A = this chain, B = another copy of it.
Amino acid sequence: MLLAKSTWPEIEAYLQRSKTVVVPIGSNEQHGPTGLLGTDWMCPEIIAHEAQKQHDDLLVAPTFNIGMAQHHLEFAGTIFLRPTTFIAAIGDWCRSLGAHGFERIYFLNGHGGNVATIEAAFSELYAEASFAGRRRGFACKLKNWWDLAGVDALARQQFPVGHGSHATPSEIAVTQWAYPDAIKTANYAPQIAPTGPVREALDFRARYADGRMGSDPGLATPEKGGELVALAVQGLVADVAAFAAEPTP
């Protein structure tokens, strides 16, 4: 069930039977010479939308499509929110959802660079309640799609070398499966990109000439993407169910 394609009475009815909502969250940032700029928000969206097709009582919110990607700014097309802006925006999303009675807000994340700030945003929300000496009313959970049960293992098996950490063949495969018309090719070298730390955008560009980090995205195929999506859907449904069932002390 897609929240955006529902009416308010439908969401009101849904809240009678479930208090859980899934928010796909990612980033719009360069993904090397062949990866789509939207890769990181498309992957969780693809998985979550697929999951709700199969499981009618999984409610999926609109996709939070811009995240913390300051280091990619020297590559055209990257759009990002500063951590403090990101914290404010996640906060308002959660305050809104909490106002309707959602008690479990599950963020399915597609960008490693988001993790720290999303966790900080949760703490900011909890701190508001802690200072007020009251219950927050909702719990937040962050899960990267590649951390869903079995997914990373499958990716490592599919891509034993050249997986890397940015513009990975696994994430690109997922977008290839979903958007076969948008498969891109390019020559790049070295075959496997370098690795290293992440700092400001000029530093990043100096380290990673075409934007990849440790990856060989040319290994991606739509078929492998489909396998990853199928496994991730299973993992998501199970993980959301466990989160929904978690008791509040």
Chain A residues within CB distance 8 Å of chain B: 2-12, 14-15, 28, 30-38, 41-42, 61-66, 68, 70-71, 73-85, 87-89, 91-93, 95-97, 99-101, 113, 115-117, 119-121, 123-124, 126-131, 133-136, 139, 179, 182, 184, 186, 197, 199-203, 206-207, 211, 246, 248-249
Contact = CB atoms under 8 A, between A and B. Distances in A.
Contact of A7 (B37, B42, B89, B99): B37
Contact of A36 (B7, B61, B87): B7
A38 B12 contact: no
- Chain multiplicity (copies): 6
10 contacts: A4-B36, A4-B37, A6-B37, A9-B76, A10-B77, A12-B76, A61-B79, A71-B130, A99-B130, A139-B199
A77 B100 contact: yes
A139 B203 CA distance: 10
